[in-house]
Structure 1
Amino acid sequence: MAETIEESYETEVRRKVVRTKFNIEETSTKTTTTTMTTPAKLYGKDLSVYDDVDVDELLDKLTAEEISVLAKEVDPDDSFLPPSQRNSYECEKDPTGPLNRRKLIDYINKEALETPDRPELEPYVAGMVRGKKWIPPPPPIQEQEADEQIAVDLGDEYEHALTNASQEEIIDLAAILGFHSMMNQDQYHASLLNKGQPVGLGWDGITKASKPKLFPVDPPNMTDTDETIKKVQDDDSKYIDLNWNNIKNISDEKMFHLFEALCNNTHLETLSLVNCGLADRHVEKLARAIEENGTLRVINVETNFISPQGVVRLIKALLKKKTVEEFRATNQRSQVLGNKIEMEITHLIEKNPTILRLGLHLEYNDARHRIATHLQRNIDTKRRTIRANYQIMLGKRGNAMKIVRTD
């Protein structure tokens, strides 16, 4: 039966103790397996006799020097020994005191600076390459075997048609089949629109980027903020659309004056505050204005610095009067709202029976699907209401006409 790891280890220790006690020199530490015709003997006795020797008794008879010699001969990779006894270095000095890490690092740095560098065997020469320069091997040439090449038999009819086809016809065929990487945009769109290929843009032509169309730059928003605030405060019946889009450096004082005026306004229907520096410090005032105002139908606060919690606060404010039909708040400080915020927005939208359009970037499909379903339900409800009101109006008009005819 094969020996276990513990038995092999114990046998090896016993043999080392016996060799140390009787001063038997070991010529090699390597274990060799040999086939012997006669059993190995020690002092005329078989080695198996020493297997029953009491190791503790022999260790008690060893001196400290003999035990240290024995410890050095033990395999340092032995996992049964503590780590402190697996190395050959032994410090015999007494400790001078507790460890001071800062002093130790300073001493090591001082020794490193004071220790002279090793002299070079050859003097340094600028531009001289020492040793053999490594040259990368050439990349392997991957050649496809003739038998592995794919041969497609298109038939005589197709082979004849493709052989006699012109370059423009092949480009048109590639566009129809959807081979976008074989042509540029001009070739692809010309093929789809049947305009004919541009001159000099065949297979060997130079691919050039198509020139983008130039659109006129939007003029700056010259709206007078003070004047618009005054109109909102005075509740001007003709002023129904407030547009502060892209107006920079609007002070917080003006923002707060506008929101306070919105609480009592009864004619404003559209509020556009795109890219005007709205932040969380303005959200509470704006939410209170939305809750107090009963005529706003469209609110647009895109491209600002509102946090996801601020967006939730504004959507929650829509439930107070339930008059807003369109709310947009994309491109804020945080592009990703998160699952918790999106689910909270979904619950608030599902409680709103009047909102028809919502401008928000939602990441999760569940929130998108539920909100889209609810918005469509609101649109259908409003369409049925309008149709019913129209029929009632036609009925009243018909009754009025009958009364007139009778008179």
Structure 2
Amino acid sequence: MTDSAEFLKLTGQKSEDVPDIDLDNIDELLAQLTQEELDELNGDFDPDNSFLPPSERMRSQTTKDPTGPFSRKKLLAFLEKKAKDEKDWENIKQYVKKAPGSSDVADISEKTWKAKEVPKTQEEKDIDTEWDDILTQATEDELVDLAAVLGFHGMLNQTQFYASENNEKLESGGFAGLAKAEQLKVAPFEPPNTTDVEQSIRLIKDNDSSLKHLNLNNIKNISYERLEAVCDGLKTNTQLETLEMASVAMTDRVAKRLSEALKENKTLTSLNIESNFVTGELIVEILKSINVNKTVTEFRATNQKPEALGNKVETKIIKLVQENDKMMKLGLAFEFPETRVKVTEKLQSNYDQVRKKRVSDKGEA
């Protein structure tokens, strides 16, 4: 079968409609075509052919030579300038739907489109007559006050609303006013801790009855030897009830001496070692020492570096807390929800036991 016959079979056309073409001489046929005919032939693509990549579904239509390299920034600037320079449509004409049987071109009316006016009722006319003059003559500040009274908070910013509520004059106010941040109120610095560390150490060692509460918080220049001396004095002291040592750069070295002292001390009830450098293992050791005599009912040790205790340490803390029926307050930041729930439940149970005992004592009295 010849090439022409095969072409007729595929296309279903008649032989008289298609000239007899020898496809073997395709190069000679293409050589006879002009440049315009070749361009038309090369542009004959199917734009919906999904088997061709998008770049090959249509030939390039650009015939101008490039004036320079492509610049996205310049292109966006040109498009923005062109959009600003273009004039808007002067009149928007109403679109009229074509009548059945009319031409395909839609009719455009000669007049500018206007919204249909709905006639007002007599009640609406009376309302307009009563309030229009009042609202028209009202100043912008009076309208702001009215919006605040009526509860239209969305029409006001925060500064305007509170100024209207407190009957304060608001400069540059109104609906176009800007909310400005209030001036910061400078809070005075807390006075430094003036506790005499050397005297406190002597009072602890002498078991002075006047020293019930020792506050060493935020004293930065306490040496390790002085902190250890405070801890060692607790072994024989029977007067001190509250010891605060937050943010004194305590390390495990000092915490170890503290845990040893708590095994012998039987009068301390509140201990605070927050914001130091005590690891989780030493916190566990301190809780073990507290459980020896169970006199400390409040223990705070949050904000340590490192702060994360870890699952192993938190599991030990759960066991130690559950063994202590006297602990009322425990200041520790836990990572796992199970630890928080179990510790909270145990502390609540201890509170309930104290409350029941207090109620029963009152009943007997």
Q: Which TM-score applies when normalising by structure 2?
A: 0.58
1:195 aligns with 2:150: no
Give 1:132 shift: 2.5
**Which residue is equivalent to 2:200?**
228
State the Cα distance separating 1:321 from its structure 2 match. 0.8
Whether the aligned pair in 2 keeps the contact of 1:248 and 1:276 (CA below 8 Å) is yes
Gaps of 5+ in 1: 1-33, 38-129, 142-155, 395-407
Aligned to 1:132: 69
CA contact (8 A) 1:339 1:364 kept: yes
1:351-390 correspondence to structure 2 within 5 Å: 351-390=323-362
Over 3 Å counting, the alpha-carbon distance change for 1:365 and 1:35 in structure 2 is farther
SS of aligned partner of 1:295 = coil
- Rounded to whole Å, the distance in 2 between the matches of 1:257 and 1:360 is 26
**Aligned runs of 1:13-24 on 2, under 5 Å?**
none
8 Å contact from structure 1 (residues 244, 273) kept in 2? yes
Change over 3 Å in CA distance of 1:379–1:253 after alignment to 2: same
Contact 1:306 1:332 in 2 (8 A): yes
| 3-state SS, counterpart of residue 289 of structure 2 | helix
Contact 2:193-2:219 at 8 Å conserved across structures: yes
How far apart, CA to CA, are the structure 2 residues paired with 1:234 and 1:284? 23
* Matched-pair identity in %: 33
For residues 182 and 312 of structure 1, the distance between their equivalents in structure 2, rounded to whole angstroms, comes to 56
Aligned to 1:210: 182
Q: CA deviation at 1:236?
A: 0.9
Secondary structure in 2 matching 1:314: helix
Q: In 1, Cα distance between the equivalents of 2:317 and 2:197? A: 32
**1:148-159 counterparts in 2 under 5 A?**
none
- Structure 2: distance between partners of 1:197 and 1:366: 53
| 1:347 maps to 2:319 | yes
Query: Cα offset for 1:133?
Result: 5.8
Name 1:76's counterpart in structure 2: none
Residues 1:190 and 1:292: Cα distance change in structure 2 (over 3 Å): farther
Conserved? CA contact 2:213–2:243, under 8 Å:
yes
Which structure 2 residues correspond to residues 320-339 of structure 1 after superposition, within 5 A?
A: 320-339=292-311
Of 168, 179, 183, which residue of structure 1 is paired with 2:157? 183
Where do 5+ consecutive residues of structure 2 fail to align?
A: 7-66, 84-122, 136-141
Give the Å deviation of 1:214: 3.1
Equivalent in the alignment of 1:263: 235
Letter in 2 for 1:348: L
Query: What residue in structure 2 maps to residue 27 of structure 1?
Result: none
Is the Cα contact below 8 Å between 1:299 and 1:324 reproduced in 2?
yes
Deviations, residues 261-316 of structure 1 (Å, cap 9, x unaligned): 10111110000001111011111111111121111111011111112222222222
Could you say which residue in structure 2 is the equivalent of 1:98? none
Aligned residues of 1:268 and 1:295 also touching (Cα < 8 A): yes
Q: Are the structure 2 counterparts of residues 35 and 134 from structure 1 closer, same or farther at C-alpha, using a change threshold of 3 Å?
A: same
- The root-mean-square deviation of aligned C-alpha atoms, in Å, is 3.5
Change (3 A) 1:214 1:340: same
Residue 188 to residue 247, structure 1, CA distance change in 2 (3 Å): farther
Partners of 1:210 and 1:319 lie apart in 2 by 52
d(CA) in 2 for partners of 1:222 and 1:205?
50
| Contact residue 270 and residue 297 of structure 1 kept, 8 A | yes
- Give 1:346 shift: 2.3
Are residues 36 and 133 of structure 1, via their aligned partners in 2, closer, same or farther at CA, if it must alter by over 3 Å? closer
Partner of 2:143: 166
Give the 3-state SS of the residue equivalent to 2:72 in structure 1: coil
Q: Cα deviation per residue 1:55-105 (whole Å; 9 max; x = unaligned)?
A: xxxxxxxxxxxxxxxxxxxxxxxxxxxxxxxxxxxxxxxxxxxxxxxxxxx
Give the count of matched residue pairs: 245
Q: CA deviation at 1:375?
A: 1.3
Seen in structure 2, the aligned counterparts of structure 1 residues 230 and 343 have a Cα distance that, compared at 3 Å, is same
- Report if the CA contact (8 A) 2:160-2:179 is conserved: no
Give me the whole-angstrom Cα distance separating, in 1, the residues matched to 2:262 and 2:170.
Answer: 60
**What's the counterpart of residue 14 of structure 1?**
none
Distance 2:209 2:237 in 1: 9
Residue 313 (1) aligns with residue 285 (2):
yes
User: In 1, distance between residues paired with 2:203 and 2:152?
Assistant: 62
Give the drift of 1:196. Answer: 4.6
Q: By how many angstroms is 1:198 displaced? A: 5.7
Deviations 1:152-194 (A, max 9, x none): xxxx99xx9xx9793345457365xxx7x9734x456668xx4
State the alpha-carbon separation in 1 of the partners of residues 198 and 271 from structure 2: 20
Q: CA deviation at 1:386?
A: 2.5
